[in-house]
């Protein structure tokens, strides 16, 4: 049990996917301008990643490994992700329209979010068992969400500040992300 708690903490804080492993930066900068979009993106990523994490694990150990076709992993995983995202989109549209209205525009973006594919690869590379895969597929996007939502809060304040012209927009965003990353860097001592 202790191992699993440790795994959760290390996925959320120590190895934060966004600030420590540099994955998922495009949506990080793209959707962090407003709090609502940040929350929407977080929910979408958690939702799809738990599903894709589980499915890609099964694909890896039930299909690719027995047939010795692991060189096709990249292709197989990206197809799983694209399919799941499409499926989730159709399901939400039909059955939970309120949630769909909130998540709708972010869902297609999730396919090309490298955090999703990245976590699926990490699960396989670290030889996680199925339960560990489920936990990390939940904890990594939770860490992503934590960083994204905190950053959105910071960014709303930056809008009010007077930033020098060349530094505006993405540039100051990245420098701020650097400061946040420095804060998360302190968690490295915990591991």
Partner 1 sequence: MAKTAFQEFTKGLWTEVPPYRLVLGLCPTLAMTKQVDMGFGMGLAVTFVLVGSNVLISLLRKVIPKNVRIACFIVVVATFVIVVELLMQAYTYELFLKMGIFIPLIVVNCIPLGRAEAFCYKKGVLPSFADGLGMGLGYTISLTVLAIIREVFGNGTFFNQPISFLGPSFQPFSFMITAPGAFVCLGLMLCIMNILGKK
**Is the dihedral angle over the CA atoms 7, 10, 13, 15 positive or is it negative?**
negative
Q: In 3D, which of 52, 28, 22 has the Cα closest to residue 42?
A: 28
Using the contact rule CB under 8 A, the part of the chain among 22-30, 38-46, 60-68, 153-161 near partner 1 is 22-30
Based on the shown chain and the rule CB under 8 A, indicate whether residue 172 belongs to the binding site for partner 1: yes
Collapsing DSSP to helix, strand or coil, 22 comes out as coil
Q: Which of 82, 144, 92 is nearest to 117 (CA)?
A: 82
Q: Which of residues 53-92 bind partner 1 (CB under 8 A)?
A: 71-75, 77-79, 82
Q: Does 178 sit near partner 1 (CB under 8 A)?
A: yes
Of 105, 130, 171, 191, the residue at the interface with partner 1 (CB under 8 A) is: 171
Given 9, 21, 61, 158, the residue binding partner 1 (CB under 8 A): 21
Per CB under 8 A, the segment of 4-12, 17-25, 32-40, 45-53 that binds partner 1 is 17-25
Based on the shown chain and the rule CB under 8 A, indicate whether residue 26 belongs to the binding site for partner 1. Answer: yes
Confirm or reject binding of residue 20 to partner 1 (CB under 8 A): yes
User: Between residues 7 and 174, which has the closer beta carbon with respect to partner 1?
Assistant: 174
- Which residues does 157 contact at the CB level (< 8 Å), separation at least 6? none
How far is residue 5's CA from residue 32's CA, in Å, rounded to a whole number? 29
Separation CA 84–CA 48 (nearest Å): 7
């Amino acid at each position: 049990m202790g191992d699993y708690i440790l795994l959760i903490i290390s996925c959320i804080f120590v190895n934060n996917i966004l600030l420590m492993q540099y994955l998922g930066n495009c949506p990080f900068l793209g959707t962090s301008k407003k709090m609502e979009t940040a929350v929407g993106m977080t929910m979408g990523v958690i939702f799809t990643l738990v599903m894709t994490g589980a499915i890609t694990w099964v694909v890896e150990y039930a299909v690719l490994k027995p047939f010795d076709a692991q060189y096709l992993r990249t292709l197989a995983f990206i197809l799983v992700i694209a399919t799941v995202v499409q499926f989730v989109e159709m399901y939400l549209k039909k059955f939970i329209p309120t949630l769909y209205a909130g998540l709708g525009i972010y869902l297609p973006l999730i396919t090309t979010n490298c955090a999703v594919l990245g976590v699926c690869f990490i699960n396989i590379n670290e030889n996680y068992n199925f339960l560990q895969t489920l936990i990390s597929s939940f904890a990594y996007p939770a860490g992503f969400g934590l960083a994204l939502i905190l950053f959105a809060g910071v960014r709303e304040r930056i809008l009010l500040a007077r930033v020098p012209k060349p530094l505006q927009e993405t540039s100051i965003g990245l420098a701020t992300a650097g400061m946040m990353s420095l804060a998360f860097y302190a968690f490295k001592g915990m591991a």
